[in-house]
Amino acid sequence: MFIGKKVKLSHYHDGDGKKFAEWQWDDAFNNPLSDDMIHPHTAEDWENIFRRSSKSKENVEFTVRKTENNELVGFVALFDLNIRNHTGELAIGFPKKEDRLKGYGSETLSLILDYGFNNLNMHKIKLTVYPFNTPAVKAYKKNGFTKEGTFKNEVFYDGKWVDIDHYAIFQNDWYTSQNEYQ
């Protein structure tokens, strides 16, 4: 388990699936999270997602919990891990509005990057984000991600075609940034 000041990365706990199943109905959370079809999941579906991931060589999923009281506040995952090329993609989410904009995302990014680069020996970690998701973009940049490109009119979102930006961070750049803070 990786622990920061505000949050820690943890495993799935009994009852988490029920919370995720309830949270998935918040459009402000769910719509910007995926650029693909949104599926309504049951509590059991969420449990199975985490259970499959715990045995996967291509995906790793963590719950994100407050360090002070172990309360579930979100999730973070590295998926489509490519062992040969040492690359993977990142997904992160904080379902409850009251848990956003509190620094949890930035700290979670720091913890998952530490895991990806120091434990999995990833060379590059990638992500996609809507350009209008400014809090997420700010957190990504703060943690060293740089924009690699934009796919124009890539996703049908809220009744219109929107762009999607691609960001990445390389292991060497992350190590350099960590040494600057020490």
DSSP string, 90-122: EEEE--SGGGSSSSHHHHHHHHHHHIIIIIS--
CA–CA gap between residue 158 and residue 89 (Å, rounded)? 24
SS3 1: coil
Q: Is residue 1 part of a domain?
A: no
For residues 163 and 98, the model is more confident at: 163
What order do you get walking across the sheet with 124-129 strand by strand?
A: 2-3, 7-10, 60-66, 72-82, 87-93, 124-129, 160-170, 146-157
Q: Which amino acid is it at 162? A: V
Q: Is residue 76 part of a domain?
A: yes
Positive/negative CA dihedral, 165, 125, 123, 47: negative
Structural domain span for residue 137: 7-180
Q: Which amino acid is it at 121? A: N
What is the number of domains present in the chain? 1
CA–CA gap between residue 88 and residue 126 (Å, rounded)? 6
The pTM score is 0.89
Q: Is the pLDDT of residue 3 over 80?
A: yes
Residue 37 pLDDT grade (very low, low, confident, very high; cuts 50, 70, 90): low
Q: Is residue 81 part of a domain?
A: yes
* Beta bridge mates, 87: 82, 124
Q: Is residue 84 part of a domain?
A: yes
What is the chain's mean pLDDT, rounded? 88
CATH number at residue 42: 3.40.630.30
